[in-house]
């Protein structure tokens, strides 16, 4: 028996597949509607879909859905769709836009939203703000100001975070060391005293260290001296240039290297290569670790109790923290800008703000929420007050739309990895790299 497929049967096969496909398509409902008791289709009011972006964390997605449902409850004609993006938020959303599938409301962080604004991807909100006489008084001023670019409001603040020192209470108890203060104005908690506490908590024989910090937290320490990497840190102009090569930067880097090399209270660079400070803290091998209130993974810890203390300040500087922000902006070509604005306003109101902080992975931009029991008593950590009290001292980091941090980190990475210790030379090279990145960006954009 011949098994060869004849031309006729092949074409019949294709025709049959096409007919099946057409039948299945025809079986789909033609338009939204409900079937009445008599069997007829009763048209219902069509809902308007509005797409809003969320990060990929499961808790974050859930709370966005919850907030979306809150909005739908009072706006039954609206359907909020959550678009989940990867951790590379800028790239993901640019790809969505470039691919012709943009969301209506974009998810923005300070380190890329100015680039979005520069490309004209964000709708300027000043017209809406003026029309509705939107009052920003109840909101964190720094978070509001973060959304002003070249004098225009490009987005609305949604949540912020600041850095703190999370600590393992069990390790403190075992070493008989008192917990660090929860008072951000307590100057006895400083860089020197933190080293002493970290020494008491370090036990190299157990592979246990007093303190660990990832290199990307360095800005938190530089801000104690109001030190930055670039001048005109919010808008890049012809005059913007590297300022990284300065005494305070050298001081911060030296302090950080000394924690490893002199005081030996932090894991060495080689040890940190594959096991991050985060992993060490989670596994109970680091007593103190710097982190923000943007991830609720700490809440999954079962093996020990933990809390949060303020970042220590240097004696010759001041208490400070970087402010990390998450804003929502309207895509410039959205056909549903009016509705999107209504949603943005809703996101800044008390109920969504409260729902968001209850996850344990955000700080509200509405100041009253950060003083509410829902925020303060939402343990762990018990000391949520530390985050609220840090807010007035927090500042945004530099505008990185030129991508200069890549150039800086290529060189600074050699210090972090322990390969180099010549801080002054490294800073000069980093400074040159940053200026090169800025020049390159200016050539394309100014």
Partner 1 sequence: MKEIGVNGLDANQPHASRHKKTQFSRRRLQANLEGYLFAAPWLIGFFVFVFVPFFSSFWYSLNQWDMVTPMRFVGAQNYIRLFQNDIFWKSTQVTLAYAAMSLPATLALAMLLALLVNRQNPLTLFFRGVFFIPAVASGVAIAVLWRWLFNPEFGLINYALSLIGIEGPMWLASERWALPAMAIMALWGVGATMLIYLAGLQSVPQHLYEAADLDGANKIQSLWHVTLPMMSPTIFYTIVLGVIGALQVFTQAYVMTRGGPNFATYFYVYNLYEEAFVKFRMGYASALAWVLFIAILVLTLVQFRLAGRWVYYEAGD
By CB under 8 A, tell whether 428 contacts partner 1: no
From 178-186, 264-272, 336-344, 356-364, span contacting partner 1 (CB under 8 A)? 264-272
Nearer to partner 1, 9 or 185 (CB): 9
By CB under 8 A, tell whether 18 contacts partner 1: no
Cα–Cα dist 131/237, whole Å: 31
By CB under 8 A, tell whether 424 contacts partner 1: no
By CB under 8 A, tell whether 12 contacts partner 1: no
By CB under 8 A, tell whether 371 contacts partner 1: no
Query: Applying CB under 8 A, which of residues 129, 241, 382, 413 lies at the interface with partner 1?
Result: 413
Query: Applying CB under 8 A, which of residues 2, 37, 270, 300 lies at the interface with partner 1?
Result: 270
By CB under 8 A, tell whether 98 contacts partner 1: yes
From 26-34, 122-130, 368-376, 402-410, span contacting partner 1 (CB under 8 A)? 402-410
By CB under 8 A, tell whether 429 contacts partner 1: yes
By CB under 8 A, tell whether 444 contacts partner 1: yes
Site for partner 1 in 115-154 (CB under 8 A): 119-121
By CB under 8 A, tell whether 440 contacts partner 1: yes
Q: What is the 3-state secondary structure (H, E, C) of the chain?
A: CCCCCCHHHHHHHHHHHHHHHHHHHHHCCCCCCEECCCCCEECCCCCEEEEEEECCCHHHHHHHHHHHHHHHHHCCCEEEEEEECCCCHHHHHHHHHHCCCCCCEEEEEHHHHHHHHHCCCECCCHHHHHHCCCCCCCECHHHHHCCEECCEECCEEEEEEEEEEEEEHHHHHHHCCCCCCCCCCCCCCEHHHHHHHHHHHCEHHHCEEEEECCHHHHHHHHHHHCCCCECCCCCCCCCCCECCCCHHHHHHHHHHHHHHHCCCCCCCHHHHCCCCHHHHHHCCCEEEEEEECCCCHHHHCCCCCEEEECCCECCCCCCCEEEEEEEEEEECCCCCHHHHHHHHHHHCCHHHHHHHHCCCCCEECEHHHHCCHHHHCCCCCCCHHHHHHHHHHEECCCCCCCCHHHHHHHHHHHHHCCCCCCHHHHHHHHHHHHHHHHHHHHHHHC
By CB under 8 A, tell whether 77 contacts partner 1: no
By CB under 8 A, tell whether 205 contacts partner 1: no
From 54-62, 246-254, 391-399, 438-446, span contacting partner 1 (CB under 8 A)? 438-446
- What is the size of the binding site for partner 1 (CB under 8 A)? 32
Query: Applying CB under 8 A, which of residues 12, 101, 185, 273 lies at the interface with partner 1?
Result: 273
By CB under 8 A, tell whether 410 contacts partner 1: yes
By CB under 8 A, tell whether 409 contacts partner 1: yes
By CB under 8 A, tell whether 105 contacts partner 1: no
Nearer to partner 1, 81 or 91 (CB): 91
- State in angstroms the smallest separation of the CB of 221 from partner 1: 21
From 93-101, 194-202, 288-296, 346-354, span contacting partner 1 (CB under 8 A)? 93-101
Residues of the shown chain interacting with partner 1 in the complex, contacts defined by CB under 8 A: 5, 7, 10, 14, 91, 94, 97-98, 119-121, 268-271, 273-274, 403, 406, 409-411, 413-414, 417-419, 429, 436, 440, 443-444
């Amino acid at each position: 028996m011949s098994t060869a497929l004849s031309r006729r049967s092949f074409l019949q096969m294709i025709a049959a597949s096409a007919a099946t496909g057409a039948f299945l398509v025809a079986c789909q409902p033609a338009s939204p509607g409900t079937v009445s008791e008599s069997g007829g289709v009763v048209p219902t009011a069509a809902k308007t879909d509005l797409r809003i972006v969320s990060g990929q964390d499961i808790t974050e997605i859930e709370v966005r859905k919850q907030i979306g449902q809150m909005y739908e409850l009072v706006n039954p004609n609206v359907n909020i769709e959550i678009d989940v993006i990867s951790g590379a938020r800028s790239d993901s959303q640019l790809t969505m836009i470039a691919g012709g599938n943009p969301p209506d409301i974009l998810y923005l962080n300070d380190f890329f939203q100015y680039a979005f604004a520069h490309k004209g991807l964000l709708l300027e909100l000043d017209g809406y703000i003026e029309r509705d006489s939107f009052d920003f008084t109840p909101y964190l001023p720094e978070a509001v100001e973060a959304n002003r670019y070249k004098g225009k409001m490009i987005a609305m603040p949604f949540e912020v975070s600041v850095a703190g020192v999370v600590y393992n209470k069990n390790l403190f108890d075992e070493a008989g060391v008192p917990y660090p203060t929860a008072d951000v104005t307590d100057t006895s908690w400083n860089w020197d005293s933190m080293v002493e506490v970290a020494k008491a908590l370090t036990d190299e024989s157990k592979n246990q260290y007093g303190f660990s910090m990832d290199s990307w937290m360095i800005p938190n320490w530089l801000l104690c001296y109001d030190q930055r990497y670039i001048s005109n840190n919010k808008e890049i102009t012809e005059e913007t240039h590297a300022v990284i090569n300065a005494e305070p930067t050298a001081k911060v880097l030296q302090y950080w290297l000394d924690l490893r090399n002199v005081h030996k209270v932090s894991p060495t660079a080689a040890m940190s290569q594959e096991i991050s400070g985060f992993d060490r803290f989670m596994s109970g091998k680091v007593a103190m670790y710097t982190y923000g209130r943007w991830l609720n993974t700490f809440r999954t810890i079962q093996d020990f109790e933990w809390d949060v203390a303020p970042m220590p300040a240097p004696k010759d500087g001041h208490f400070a923290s970087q402010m990390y922000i998450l804003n929502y902006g309207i895509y410039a070509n959205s056909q549903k800008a009016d509705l999107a604005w209504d949603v943005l306003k809703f996101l800044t109101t008390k109920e969504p703000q409260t729902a968001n902080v209850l996850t344990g992975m955000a700080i509200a931009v509405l100041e009253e929420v950060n003083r509410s029991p829902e925020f303060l008593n939402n343990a762990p950590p018990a000391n949520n007050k530390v985050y609220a009290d840090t807010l007035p001292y927090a500042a945004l980091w530099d505008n990185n739309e030129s991508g200069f941090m890549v150039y800086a980190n290529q060189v600074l990475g050699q210090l972090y990895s322990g390969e180099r210790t010549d801080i002054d030379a490294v800073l000069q090279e980093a400074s040159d790299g940053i200026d090169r990145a800025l020049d390159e960006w200016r050539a394309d954009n100014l």
